[in-house]
């Protein structure tokens, strides 16, 4: 029962504190006057650094600032206080992850880069670091996200120096992997397969493959398929190697045609007049009739 009693008692003090808060609400008047910083003391429920002056309650950020306040309280409250607390709608408000998600499709300012890291890094390109929605603040109706808790805290204290920065034209690429399936069709193709297809088609264009006894269309398609398989970065080195081998054999097959075509003459030549490997290659060529290379790989 005594625990309950103390809890009730503390709760009553908090209620009273709330009803008699001074002009600075839960913000430390000493931090505002001396550092021009907004230090929100509502975060800690402790009343350790609280003081009363002229019937109003004030909460300070530290023992040191409580001491300063107690020495000359009139210097820290109106009319002598150098800076007033900004109006409510001009105070930064921390946002939970759920709150940020609920605000979708509204996006973070600065394309999600951390404004504190950027300004503290002298607005350099290297200081453009993405924020995360775990560290989010709403200020002047805009959402800002930060690299970490420390940067968020700096912003909360002095939002006016960080909120209106201009991004440079050149921006680093976003780090977080884009979910391919979330992209529209063209974007999906561009991000997912464009490079591989361009490379394969370039190879087809350079080689202009025509396999013995196979149509040009089928030869080109099959060669494209081999190329895609042989350079598929998602597959194992072993599988890629196997397909490179198949691709080379296919290329050799294609070369038979131009080779034989360049040697053969309309006039019959005696075997000894023919180049060394001609007969052998002709045999290979003829043996290809009726056998078609396939894409499937037996591992």
Ligand X SMILES: *[C@@H]1O[C@H](CO)[C@@H](O)[C@H](O)[C@H]1NC(C)=O
Which residues of the shown chain bind ligand X in the complex (CB under 6 A)?
229, 232, 234-235, 239, 297
CA distances 167 to 112, 119, 120, 275, Å, are 11, 10, 14, 70
| Closer by beta carbon to ligand X, 89 or else 296 | 296
Rg (CA), the chain: 37
Q: In angstroms, rounded to a whole number, what is the distance separating the alpha carbons of residues 60 and 40? A: 9
| Closer by beta carbon to ligand X, 107 or else 232 | 232
- What is the smallest separation between the CB atom of 231 and ligand X, expressed in angstroms? 11
| Closer by beta carbon to ligand X, 17 or else 239 | 239
Which residue's CB atom is positioned nearest to ligand X? 235
C-beta separation of 23 from 85 below 8 A:
yes
Residue 41: CB partners within 8 Å, gap ≥ 6?
26, 27, 28, 49, 59, 60, 61
| Closer by beta carbon to ligand X, 234 or else 289 | 234
C-beta separation of 29 from 78 below 8 A:
no
- What is the smallest separation between the CB atom of 233 and ligand X, expressed in angstroms? 9
Q: In angstroms, rounded to a whole number, what is the distance separating the alpha carbons of residues 194 and 186? A: 10
Angle at 57 between CA 55 and CA 61, to 5 degrees: 150
- What is the smallest separation between the CB atom of 263 and ligand X, expressed in angstroms? 36
| Closer by beta carbon to ligand X, 90 or else 295 | 295
- What is the smallest separation between the CB atom of 297 and ligand X, expressed in angstroms? 5
């Amino acid at each position: 029962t005594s625990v309950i009693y103390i809890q009730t008692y503390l709760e009553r003090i908090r209620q009273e504190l709330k009803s008699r808060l001074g002009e600075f609400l839960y913000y430390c008047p000493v931090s505002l006057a001396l550092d021009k910083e907004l230090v929100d003391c509502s975060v800690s429920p402790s009343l350790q650094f609280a003081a009363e002056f002229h019937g109003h309650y004030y909460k300070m950020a530290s023992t040191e600032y409580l001491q300063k306040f107690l020495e000359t309280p009139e210097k820290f409250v109106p009319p002598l206080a150098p800076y007033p607390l900004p109006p409510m709608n001009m105070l930064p408000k921390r946002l939970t992850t759920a709150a940020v998600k609920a605000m979708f499709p509204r996006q973070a300012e600065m394309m999600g880069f951390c404004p504190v890291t950027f300004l503290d890094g002298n607005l350099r390109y290297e200081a453009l670091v993405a924020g995360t929605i775990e560290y989010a603040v709403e200020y002047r109706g805009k959402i800002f996200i930060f690299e970490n808790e420390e940067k968020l805290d700096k912003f909360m204290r002095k939002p006016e120096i960080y909120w209106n920065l201009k991004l440079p034209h050149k921006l680093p690429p976003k780090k977080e992997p884009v979910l391919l399936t979330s992209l529209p069709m063209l974007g999906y193709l561009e991000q997912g397969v464009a490079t591989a297809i361009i490379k394969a088609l370039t190879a087809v264009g350079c080689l202009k493959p025509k396999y013995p006894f196979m149509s040009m269309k089928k030869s080109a398609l099959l060669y494209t398929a081999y190329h895609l398989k042989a350079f598929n970065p998602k597959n194992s080195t072993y599988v890629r190697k196997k397909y490179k081998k198949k691709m080379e054999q296919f290329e050799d097959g294609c070369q038979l045609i131009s080779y034989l075509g360049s040697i053969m003459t309309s006039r019959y030549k005696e075997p000894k007049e023919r180049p060394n490997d001609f007969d052998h290659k002709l045999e290979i060529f003829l043996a290809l009739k009726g056998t078609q290379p396939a894409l499937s790989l037996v591992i």
